Structure 1
């Protein structure tokens, strides 16, 4: 049960960073492609492979420029809860974890993905763009989280929990920053 929760957290955290890249990796890791992914299993695999590959390339290369980051922030903010929920349910199905109800697992995964994406959007606007090295690190962590969700859920879950801790710390830093700026006015 705990291993399943850690796997869900890992996959959902990956969806909080990127939306197409984790779905592409999950599909390619599974022998039946996206047959375990709800809703995506209805789309023909060649079409899904083309769409996810194209969008993943845009995520990887477009995120390195300011305009690409702006576009990605808006689109990923809208779709990250949905993808986080899909990945959470998919990891439970792929790992044959005895976790019920699946809709609750999907909601938890979607909320975690949304929280991480909101923090990222907050930093994007506060810093007026995310530095290149941070974006590269984020891409690497996203890929590792997906691999860990499938192969080593303990490690992936711990990384996801650390990311959640950083998100909470960020919110307190923003609150202090906002309070200081209000006192100056």
Structure 2
């Protein structure tokens, strides 16, 4: 149960940002970086570190501007399921749950959270700056919780999922009132 909550926490972080969770995860693992991560272990650690640092900086600075949010959302919408699956596999060590199910859960949660962000972006015509800072802090916190406090991170991820379902319901009602 704890590993599922850690999976949810890590995948929720990937649903908000792409490079930041991967970078933090690699740095938390010490000198072997991503050697235990299924897909990333085949990539050179210095190259991957450079790419993730660069993209993390792009995510941090471009997300504060409207044009940057638009560009990042397209890229994050395409890559969040992949990163969500990678993050989910990275936090799970040995469980009876099959890996394909862990990847499916992680990818789905990351995609749902990213879709909610896109929905709010277009409904509000851009995310407010306070919301972007909240995303950044929550993303970092969720990755740290996935490794150090999976119970709390999983609960936060489930609250975010509840918020996503609630948002979809509100959008559905709002859309049908306009018709």
User: Shorter chain as normaliser: what TM range?
Assistant: over 0.9
1:156 aligns with 2:145: no
- Give the alignment's Cα RMSD to 1 decimal: 0.7
Q: What is the number of residues matched between the two proteins?
A: 178
What is aligned with 2:26? 27
TM-score under structure 2 length normalisation: 0.98
1:99 Cα offset (Å): 3.5
Distance in 1 (alpha carbons) for counterparts of 2:3 and 2:38: 18
SS at match of 1:80: helix
1:116 to 106, 113, 116: 113
Matched, 1:84 2:109: no
Distance 1:99 1:8, change over 3 A: farther
TM-score when scaled to structure 1? Answer: 0.95
Tell me the residue number matched to 1:47: 47
Measure, in 2, the Cα distance between the counterparts of 1:42 and 1:170: 38
Q: Deviations over 1:112-145 (max 9, x none)?
A: 0000000100100111100000000000000000
CA apart distance, 1:156: 0.2
CA distance in 2 between counterparts of 1:88 and 1:115 reads: 15
Give the Cα separation in 2 of the matches to 1:100 and 1:148: 21
Residues 1:145 and 1:99: Cα distance change in structure 2 (over 3 Å): farther
Shift of residue 3, structure 1, vs aligned partner: 0.4
5+ unaligned residues in a row in structure 1: which ranges? Answer: none
Instruction: State whether residues 92 and 99 of structure 1, in contact with CA within 8 Å, keep that contact through their aligned partners in structure 2.
Output: no
Question: 1:38 deviation in Å?
Answer: 1.3
Q: Is contact 1:4-1:99 (8 Å) kept? A: no
Q: Does the CA-based 8 Å contact 1:33-1:45 persist in structure 2?
A: yes
What is the aligned partner in structure 1 of residue 73 from structure 2?
A: 73
